[in-house]
Amino acid sequence: MNAATRQSLAEQPVSFGARPAVRRAKDVALGWIIAAGGMGVIVAISLIFFYLLWVVLPLFAGASMEARPLAAADTARTRFLSMDDVGDVGIRLLDDGTAQTLDLATGEISGELPIPYAGTVTRVAVVDPIAGALALALADGRVLLIELDYEVSYSAAGRVAVPEVGLPLGPEPLVLSDAVLNYRALAVRSDESSATVAAISEAGELLVRRFQSRRNFLTGASSLQAGTLETVPLTGVLGAPASFLLIDPAQRWLYLANADGDLAMYALSRNGPPELLQRTDLTRGGAQLTTLDLLLGGYSLLAGDDQGRITQWFPVRGEDGTFSLRNVRSFELGAAVVSVRSEHRRKGFVAAGADGSIGLFYTTSARELLRTDGGAAAVSAMAISPRGKVLLVERSDGTQERYAVDNEHPEVSWSALWEEVWYESFDEPDYIWQSSASHSEFEPKFSLMPLAFGTLKAAFYAMLFAVPLAIFGAMYTAYFMTPRMRQFVKPTIEIMGALPTVIIGFLAGLWLAPVLEENLAGVLIILFGLPLAVPAFGYLWDSVPGQLRDFVPDGWIAALLVPVIVLVGWAGIALGAPLEQAFFGGDLPHWLTVEAGVDFDQRNAMVVGLAMGFAVIPTIFSIAEDALFGVPRHLSNGSLALGATPWQTLLGVVLPTASPGIFSAVMIGLGRAVGETMIVLMATGNTPIMDVNIFEGMRTLSANIAVEMPESEVGSSHYRILFLAGLVLFIITFVFNTGAELIRQRLRRKYANL
């Protein structure tokens, strides 16, 4: 080829056809696909967050009431108001014992209900406002218990509720005393097997009589047999005559109080007079007691005074086993309290003030949900529907109002979720999660603290087990292990990460937990012995003559640890039984519980730590090993060339350079441990308690959601609080991952120049 030809060829442009344009198009398309995928992930996470927020936000919405005036009532004094479930019809009991039916669409009187009694009614006492139970004191001193109820039926015309009067103890009045007495106060409680009638006579004596139910086995008929009349003088018990009298539903305690707020608490006995347990003052600063009622369940007292304060009291068991009333929480109405009515199915109540104001309150969450302005006539009677959707109010000027109440989630407040709450029948405030029970009088306990604590506890013990093994294993595998051995070890550990967590949880709960309980002493010896045995073996190996060490190729020394680990495991199990017999009576778990005061559960945090650590190790190991192995060789070779030892090079050069990757591995493992569900669900007792004890279980946020979500009612407070638990878990992982990324970027910038 001559010079002219070469020149001609050199001047011709080199053509690769359409390849540059195709490559450019592919790069642009892949760039858009990657960007779209990244944006899709961000959008998906954002949608999850906003959906959780959308479900949770109604929990913190306040209550509202919409009033609708009804027809004015007559001027007769209303003793008690009642209504059916949905607030269509009601019953108005007058002070003389007359029962009128009300059409709550208009407020007009639609008829009267016959009450079978003989004689004049001298006093009407509210026995149980939730059940509509009332006690009528007759002129001859006898007491008739009636119950206002509604017979509901459905037809083509729709739902029909027919008011009716029931006689739960039969048509015969109860004889409290043979003498004809007028009662200053009256209280009655009954159940299927017994009834208790108590009254305060005009002479100032407390009269109490028990009635026991007896069934005839031949006829099946039941009757009440009266017990002994117990008479208790009240002289010197209270500073002024008592005007309030209550009996709890279990018929264990009797409360009597006067207008000055002095209260006496008695213990009722089946065979003997009431025993005075405590005297206390329900009011402060000279306030006068205006109302005294029982909250749903009858365990708590609600005391209202003329200064607008409503206090909740309930019996608390002391160290000596006796009960005493304690003031648990207070609410402010802003005006003298004239009436209090408890809700039928929740621990909330409605209070009315002398200035005509109305307040909605909830005890467990310590919330004032709503308070209307005053200025209207005082409330003379009110009733709330069993579902809590309708409030019926009758005022002193005869006007009536029907309120539509929107109060879906009164149980929720910051204090109820995250602070200690003093629940009924508990000795002190505590963090409790107990979302349901078998009866409607249950006080839901929605504290998220034990769940959040259990989540962090499970993650802590899992990371305590996993991080040292994973990081040290990654350091040795990446830097010291021979390539041939690494090709076997690394894939084996990574395959462990593919094992389903449900299998790990199944094995941990049904196999590992019993094994640990039966060999607890030996397992503890192994856990403490291995960290000592491995360095000791390394020290002894370093003391072995070089001729013997040369028989083991470089990078294969780790294989010598296998018999050491097996030997320590065998020694721990072999020594555990005799040591347990010699020092702990042959039963270390029992000794821990009885002698050391450390509770022991078979499925505990140690089981979770081992099982979940086993699941987390592959993730941490794989990422950390890749980070260590990816450190450029010229850095470590340069350090070795300058005279540093392999360990000095690892600590001073390799670890700092790989620290962003190692930190990412730890944080990803922590995120895995925090969000783990199946292992903690199957390997713990699922007990929502707050205790760092490694021998006790816990309940995590994720496990709680998995356990209770199928049983929760859609839209209920329980349902939304479970979504709130998911939102809290989402925020915890987001904070951890964001903080980890910030620290990782800082480490990357710090060691980028190595």
pLDDT in the model for residue 11:
59
Residue 485: count of CB within 10 angstroms of its CB: 17
Q: In what order do the strands lie in the sheet with 244-247?
A: 244-247, 253-257, 262-267, 275-281
- Which residue type is seen at 50? F
Q: Which CATH class is domain 449-750?
A: mainly alpha
Instruction: Flag whether pLDDT at 13 surpasses 60.
Output: no
pLDDT tens digits, one per residue of 551-574: 777 767 777 888 888 899 899 889
Alpha carbons 471 and 521: distance in angstroms, whole number: 28
Distance between alpha carbon 662 and the CA centroid of its chain, in Å? 36
User: Assign residue 119 a region: left if phi > 0, alpha if psi is -120 to 50, beta otherwise?
Assistant: left
Under the banding of pLDDT at 50, 70 and 90, the label for residue 6 is low
Place of tokens 């009267």: 112
Under the banding of pLDDT at 50, 70 and 90, the label for residue 733 is confident
Instruction: Flag whether pLDDT at 254 surpasses 90.
Output: yes
Mean pLDDT of 273-295: 90
Task: Answer yes or no: same fold for 64-434 and 449-750.
Answer: no
Residue 630 near residue 658 (C-beta atoms within 8 A)? yes
Max mean pLDDT among 61-70, 153-162, 264-273, 448-457 falls in 448-457
- Nearest in space to 196 (alpha carbons), one of 183, 184, 213: 213
Q: What is the dihedral of CA 429, 430, 431, 435, to 10 degrees?
A: -80
Alpha carbons 256 and 238: distance in angstroms, whole number: 9
Q: Delimit the domains of the chain by residue range.
A: 64-434, 449-750
Mean pLDDT of 34-60: 91
Under the banding of pLDDT at 50, 70 and 90, the label for residue 482 is confident
Mean pLDDT of 147-173: 85
Under the banding of pLDDT at 50, 70 and 90, the label for residue 438 is low
- 144-148, 273-277, 739-743: the lowest-pLDDT one: 739-743
Mean pLDDT of 731-738: 86
Residue 616, both tokens: 């987390």
To which CATH superfamily is domain 64-434 assigned?
YVTN repeat-like/Quinoprotein amine dehydrogenase (2.130.10.10)
Max mean pLDDT among 121-135, 230-244, 344-358, 648-662 falls in 344-358
Residue 690 near residue 453 (C-beta atoms within 8 A)? yes
Under the banding of pLDDT at 50, 70 and 90, the label for residue 285 is confident
Alpha carbons 449 and 699: distance in angstroms, whole number: 11
pLDDT in the model for residue 220:
54
Under the banding of pLDDT at 50, 70 and 90, the label for residue 494 is confident
User: 20 or 217, which is more confident?
Assistant: 20
Per-chain mean pLDDT for the chain: 86
- Nearest in space to 531 (alpha carbons), one of 619, 472, 606: 472
The DSSP-derived string for 72-125 is PP-SSPEEEEEE-TTSSEEEEEETTS-EEEEETTTTEEEEEE-----S-EEEEE
Under the banding of pLDDT at 50, 70 and 90, the label for residue 108 is confident
pLDDT tens digits, one per residue of 648-683: 888 888 888 888 889 889 988 998 899 888 899 888
Instruction: Flag whether pLDDT at 312 surpasses 80.
Output: yes
The β-bridge partners of 289 are 305
Residue 197, both tokens: 């009638």
